[in-house]
Structure 1
Amino acid sequence: RMLVAREYTAAREEGGDPVLAVMRATGHSRRKSLRLIGQARDEGFLAPRRARR
């Protein structure tokens, strides 16, 4: 999860696609990568998603 958070954050700072960066780093599909990103958020490695209006 820390790897996922690191790759996601680095990609956002560089202006790239964070999900694509996680896919490349882990070798998983987009769907699995999104699940891993969600788990990293739940565990506090990433900030929560923007609040819905």
Structure 2
Amino acid sequence: MTLRVYNTLTRTKEPFETVEPGRVGMYLCGPTVYKPAHIGHMVGPVIFDTIKR
């Protein structure tokens, strides 16, 4: 089964292809904190951690 992802630029589903066969990389930029910390700052890291697992 091939994993397909939606490309918002072309509005089509495309096969997911890695640069290095058998290895997937992921990058998450940290939050831009300009006010006191709150629980919302953890949304991104928690979602990406869940996807990684």
TM-score (norm 1): 0.27
Q: Which has the larger helix fraction?
A: 1
Q: Which has the larger strand fraction?
A: 2
TM-score (norm 2): 0.27
Query: Greater RCO between the two (CA within 8 Å, min separation 6)?
Result: 1
